[in-house]
Structures are given as C-alpha cells and as structure tokens.
C-alpha cells in the first residue's frame, strides 16, 4: 500500500466527524432522576423511565439543556429557540425502550464553526497548501449541528476473546448508563488530513473541559468519535463515497485509522474497484479497518417526533443567562497568556488547553519574574510526571508556590538545572518547598569565580598534555575540562560559569 504522503499527491481526503460526549458532570440522567454515577453496581441506577416500562413519561433535564447551549455558544452555533425530540427506532438489548430519544432536523445548536491553527509536524500532511510549508496554517471547520440524545446501556460479553461478542457464550447488560445525557456534534466534511481531524477533536475536548460539561475521557468512553472519510482526485469537486470508522478510543487511533482508510480507499480506486458506503471498525493491534456492516439509511430507523415530549422552547432570557455563565475559552486564554506573559504561541496553547493546568500556571506565575521558567517546568517536568503516574495536577504533592520557587532558584543560578531536576523529583515524592530542600541537602550551586578558577587550574596542572593539545588547536577539549571540573565539584558548580572560566584559563 502507498504511504499517506504518496496518496495525498494525487488524492484529496475529505473527512467529517461525529463526536459523542456524555455529560458526565451532571447529577442525573436525561429524562429521569436516576443518578449519573460511574462504577456503581450493575442495574442499581434504573427506573421505569430509563427501562422503558409502559406508561413511564420522560421529563427533560434542564441542566443538560444548559450544557448543550454552552457547547453551542462555544462553537459559534445558532441556538435554536424551538427544537424537537425525535425517536430513532431500533432493537438491541442495550436499549430497553427499543428507541433512542434524539433530535430531528432542527437541533438545539445549528450551523457553527471552529478555526484550527495547525503548527509544526501536522503541516506535513497538507501537501496542497503552500502556507503549510511555513510551518503553520489555519483552517476553518464548519459545524453542522449539536444535538441532544441519550446513551444506551452497556453490554458485557462472556466467554469470547477479550470480551468481544464473537465467540461469546452469553451476554450481560447493565442499564446504569442507559439514558445518560449525550451530545453529538457533527462537522461538515471540511477536514482534509488525519492530523486536522485529530486536532479538531483535541480542541473540542479542551473547550468542553473548559465549559465543565464532561470529563471527556476517550478511554472510559465519555468522549467517542466516528470518522467519516472519502477521497477524490485533486481538483474534483464532487464528494466520493465515504466509509464511517467506529470504535476509536484515542487521538492516536483516530489519526491512524484515518491514515489507513485513506490509503486503503486509494488502493481500491487505483486498481479499478469501487468504495461501498459502509461502517468499518478500527483494530489498533492490526492497524487496519474491517467492515462491520453495510450502511443502513435513515429510513431504516423510522424517525418520528417523540409524542411524549412537547417541542422544547428556549427563551432569550435563558440563552442570555447561559451566555453570562460562559468561562474564558482556550483560544482566548491562549491569546491572553501570549500577551500577559510573553509566552510563545505553542507554550501558551499547551498551558491554556487544560483548565487545571492553566489555573496552576497562573497561580505560580502571579508574582514571579521567572514566568518562562515556570512554563518550562510545567510543560516538561510536570507534564512528564503526570503522564507517567496518570495523576491530575491537583492531586500532585507540589504546589504552584513550590514550582514558582523552583523556577526562581534555577533562573537566578542559585541551583543548576541538574539540581533543579533533583529538587523536582523530591517535590513529587514528598512535597515541601524548594528553598528548604536545597538548604537541607546543601544543594546550593557554587557560583564563586575564585573557587572555580582554583579547581580549573588544578585540573590544567594535572593534564599538561591536554592543555598543550588545546592550545595547538584541539578546541573540542574544553568539554573535557568542563566535565572534570563539574565532577570535582560534585555537580554543584554553576555550569555557565565553569565554561567561562575554562575558556578563559585555557586561552591563558
Ligand atoms: P449519518 O448520520 O448517516 O452518519 P450524516 O449526514 O450525519 O450521516 O453525516 C455524518 C458525517 O459524514 C458528517 O460529519 C459529514 O460531514 C460526513 N460526510 C458526509 N459525506 C461525506 C463524504 N462524502 N466524505 C466524507 N465525509 C462525509
Ligand atoms: Mg454517522
Ligand atoms: Zn431512570
């Protein structure tokens, strides 16, 4: 099979996404008052409404409507003053009502957009765009709609490999999740590369996290996304036939599944075959997509307006009230971090992307002259530590004040960068303040020029041949003298100063 880069020379990829998000931060389900709680004993959070018992009547959760309106405002959608709930009919054991309550042609949020700024490596996939060659470009992604729906229950398959249905002897069903409020965002087919698709979902996740409407965990399934993809010859305006990729549970898998699928479609079309509209499943271990089913059409679901729910009207007052609750969104935060703290765009974006990290950074940076250092520690050391431990920043033992003090000690050359790493490791294990740690362990960096000169002179006296070689032109030997001095000072010498002294004395 050709590589993506090769395929994209001749073909244009067209991608549209459907992103389903469980509103996990709400207290109750979409149409009943059963609690929303992850990890409860199976079938303990159920009632006649979410079990679909005869005569039970749904009541919409107003907090869920508030959440979807927030999502719509944050993505430049029009908030529809009247929309309706619909029934999408199908039978499957995870759906006891035999229909899913969803929305029809008019959803709460219609016609929005998000702009994506793609930087660095992601630009490589946009072979057609001259500005992508400069390492940064912006692309506009239309949002068709965001509608409200409910989640189904969860099936557990017993006896098959890895809990899969194939080979299972029997299946169990847990209705705790049935009726969980879910919002589905559908994009226009405006994305052109797997990287754009990945960054779109990442950006949307950051927005939802800032809004506080979901925990957006792809591993736990509270953020799920389907990738629709087709290809067409460059210059062609008609859309090709798409396939729809399901079972994507990480950003990497979304990217890799799209890459595979684009290359597969190119191979089929180039060998004279045709693409059928079908639903495919991505297998991350095999790194390929497999057919699940040939696509059903909307008619198969017999959509009709939900007779048990009146059309839902939103007043201007309600929408204005929700608008007044909107937090600062990641793009605005990024712009403010760039302006207020003179951070580069990439660092500002990384800090602004996660609300907990952004607030940690702002607390640490509040009265500091070493903001750049604080940003570096958070984006490198802290990020690596949280990644390795799977911990959230608020659960860690280090405080914003400790990180600010660490940046100050390092930035003012009181400790070396090597010592700063040691202090950071101690902060992770024990907490405390860097000033105390440095004092207790005698970690002060030696920045005394005379003391360093004495040590360098001693090393030069012990290595006259190397001094002669340096003076004869082997300038690379400075590294030897710096290394020996560092070693003699047990890593406590100021590296900048050592290298200055070494150069000065060798030049003699
Ligand atoms: P369904 O609900 O049947 O999946 P939708 O009309 O809601 O269908 O479209 C789903 C997604 O597919 C949207 O994100 C849309 O942008 C995308 N899409 C539609 N046609 C194509 C195509 N030819 N190639 C790629 N994506 C497409
Ligand atoms: Mg679909
Ligand atoms: Zn219920």
Ligand lying nearest the CA atom of residue 34: 3
Query: Ligand 1 centroid to 489 CA: how many Å?
Result: 65
- DSSP annotation of 62 reads H
149 in Cβ contact with 107 (< 8 Å) = no
Q: E-strand spans in 105-238?
A: 109-119, 136-150, 154-158, 170-174, 181-187, 223-233
Helix (H, G, I), strand (E, B) or coil at 502: helix
Domain boundaries, the chain: 4-30+62-151+176-319, 330-440, 449-507
The rounded percent of the chain whose pLDDT value lies above 90 is 78
Residue 227: CB within 6 Å of ligand 1? no
Q: Is 18 in the pocket of ligand 1 (CB under 6 A)?
A: yes
For a substitution probing ligand 1, which of 144, 189, 204 has the most ligand atoms within 8 Å of its CB?
189
Indicate the average pLDDT of the chain: 93
Task: Give me the pLDDT at residue 122, please.
Answer: 86
DSSP β-ladder status, 11-22 and 223-233: antiparallel
CA–CA distance, 72 with 297 (Å, rounded to integer): 27
The tens digit of pLDDT for each residue in 419-469 reads 899 999 999 999 999 999 998 988 877 778 888 999 999 999 999 999 999
Chain centroid to Cα 476, Å, comes to: 44
Q: Tell me what pLDDT residue 132 has.
A: 87
Q: Report whether pLDDT(7) > 70.
A: yes
Distance 243 CA to ligand 2 centre (A): 10
The ligand 1 atom at the shortest distance from the C-alpha of residue 228 is 26
Residue 116 near residue 139, CB atoms below 8 Å:
yes
Ligand 1 centroid to Cα of residue 95, in Å, is 24
Distance CA 505, CA 457 (A): 8
**Band of the pLDDT at 496, cuts 50, 70, 90?**
confident
Q: With a cut of 90, say whether residue 386 has pLDDT above it.
A: yes
Question: Ligand 1, closest atom to CA 190?
Answer: 16
Of ligand 1's atoms, which has the minimum distance to the CA of residue 14?
Answer: 25
- For residue 112, the CA-to-ligand 3 centroid distance in Å is 32
Going by pLDDT thresholds of 50, 70 and 90, the confidence category of residue 205 is: very high
> Looking at the predicted structure, is the pLDDT value of residue 223 above 90?
yes
Centroid of ligand 2 to alpha carbon of 71 (angstroms): 20
The 10s digit of each residue's pLDDT in 351-377 is 999 999 999 999 999 989 999 999 999
Report the C-alpha gap between 196 and 122 in whole angstroms.
Answer: 8
187 lines ligand 1 (CB under 6 A): yes
Q: What is the dihedral of CA 36, 39, 42, 43, to 10 degrees?
A: -10
The model's confidence at residue 334, banded by pLDDT at 50, 70 and 90, is very high
52 pLDDT above the threshold of 70: yes
CA dihedral of 323, 324, 325, 327, whole degrees rounded to 10: 80
What are the pLDDT digits (tens) for 106-151? Answer: 999 999 999 999 988 889 999 899 888 888 999 999 999 999 999 9
pLDDT at 369: 95
**Three-state secondary structure call for residue 139:** strand
Residue 503 in tokens = 């150069």
- In the three-class reduction of DSSP (H, G, I as helix; E, B as strand; rest coil), residue 294 is classed as strand
Instruction: Please tell me the predicted confidence (pLDDT) of residue 295.
Output: 63
Q: What is the CA(237)–ligand 2 centre distance, in A?
A: 22
SS3 call for 183 = strand
- Interacting residues of 495 by C-beta distance below 8 A, sequence separation 6+: 416, 417, 482, 486
Architecture of domain 449-507 in this structure: Orthogonal Bundle (1.10)
Chain segment 461-486, per-residue pLDDT in tens: 999 999 999 999 998 899 999 999 98
Q: At 468, phi and psi to the nearest 5?
A: -65, -45
Query: What is the C-alpha separation between 99 and 105, in angstroms, rounded?
Result: 17
425 touches 432 (CB < 8 A): no
Alpha carbons 77 and 111: distance in angstroms, whole number: 5
Mutation probe of ligand 1 site: the residue of 228, 239, 257 with most atoms within 8 A of C-beta: 228
Are 198 and 251 in contact, with CB atoms under 8 Å apart?
A: yes
405 Cα distance to chain centroid: 29
R_g of the chain computed on alpha carbons: 29
| Cα separation, 29 vs 22, whole angstroms | 10
* Beta bridge mates, 295: none
Q: Which two tokens stand for residue 397?
A: 């033992």
Evaluate if pTM is beyond 0.95.
no
**Tally of residues, the chain:** 508
pLDDT in tens, 270-324: 999 999 999 999 988 888 888 887 766 667 889 999 999 999 999 999 999 999 9
């Amino acid at each position: 099979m050709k590589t993506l880069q090769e395929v994209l020379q001749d073909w244009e990829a067209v991608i549209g996404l459907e992103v389903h998000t469980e509103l996990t931060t709400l207290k109750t389900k979409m149409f009943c008052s059963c609690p929303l709680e992850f990890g409860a004993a199976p079938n303990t959070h159920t009632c006649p409404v979410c079990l679909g018992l005869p005569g039970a009547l749904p009541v919409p959760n107003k907090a869920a409507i508030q959440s979807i309106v927030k999502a719509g405002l944050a993505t430049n959608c029009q908030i529809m003053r009247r929309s309706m709930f619909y029934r999408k009919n199908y039978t499957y054991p995870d759906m006891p009502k035999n229909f899913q309550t969803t929305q029809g042609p008019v959803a709460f949020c219609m016609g929005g957009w998000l702009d994506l700024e793609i930087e660095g490596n992601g630009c490589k996939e946009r072979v057609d765009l001259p500005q992508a060659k400069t390492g940064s470009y912006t692309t506009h992604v239309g949002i068709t709609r965001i509608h409200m729906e409910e989640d189904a229950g969860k099936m557990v398959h017993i006896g098959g490999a890895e809990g899969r249905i194939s080979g299972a002897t029997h299946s169990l069903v847990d209705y705790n999740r049935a009726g969980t409020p879910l919002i589905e965002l559908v994009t226009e087919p405006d994305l052109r590369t797997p990287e754009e698709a990945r960054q779109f979902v990442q950006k949307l996740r950051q927005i939802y996290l800032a809004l506080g409407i979901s925990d957006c965990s792809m591993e736990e399934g509270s953020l799920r996304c389907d990738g629709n993809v087709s290809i067409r010859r460059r210059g062609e305006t008609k859309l090709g036939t798409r396939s729809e990729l399901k079972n994507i549970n990480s950003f990497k898998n979304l990217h890799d599944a799209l890459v595979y699928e684009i290359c597969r479609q190119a191979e089929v079309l180039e060998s004279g075959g045709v693409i059928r509209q079908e639903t495919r499943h991505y297998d991350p271990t095999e790194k390929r997509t497999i057919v699940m089913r040939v696509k059903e059409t909307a008619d198969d679901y017999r959509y009709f307006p939900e007779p048990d729910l009146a059309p839902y009207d939103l007043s201007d007052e309600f929408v204005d009230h929700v608008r007044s609750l909107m937090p600062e969104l990641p793009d605005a935060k990024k712009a403010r971090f760039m302006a207020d703290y003179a951070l580069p765009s990439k660092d500002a974006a990384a800090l602004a992307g996660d609300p907990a990290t952004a607030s940690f950074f702002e607390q640490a940076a509040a009265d500091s002259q070493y903001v750049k250092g604080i940003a570096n520690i958070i984006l490198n050391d802290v990020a690596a530590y949280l990644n390795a431990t799977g911990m959230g920043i608020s659960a860690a033992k280090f405080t914003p004040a400790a990180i600010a003090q660490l940046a100050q000690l390092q930035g003012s050359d009181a400790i070396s960068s090597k010592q700063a790493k040691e202090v950071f490791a101690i902060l992770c294990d024990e907490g405390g303040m860097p000033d105390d740690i440095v004092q207790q362990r005698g970690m002060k960096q030696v920045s005394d020029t005379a003391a360093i000169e004495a040590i360098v002179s001693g090393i030069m006296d012990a290595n006259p041949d190397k001094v002669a070689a340096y003076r004869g032109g082997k300038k690379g030997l400075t590294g030897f003298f710096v290394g020996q001095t560092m070693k003699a000072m047990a890593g406590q010498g100021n590296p900048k100063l050592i290298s200055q002294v070494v150069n000065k004395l060798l030049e003699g």
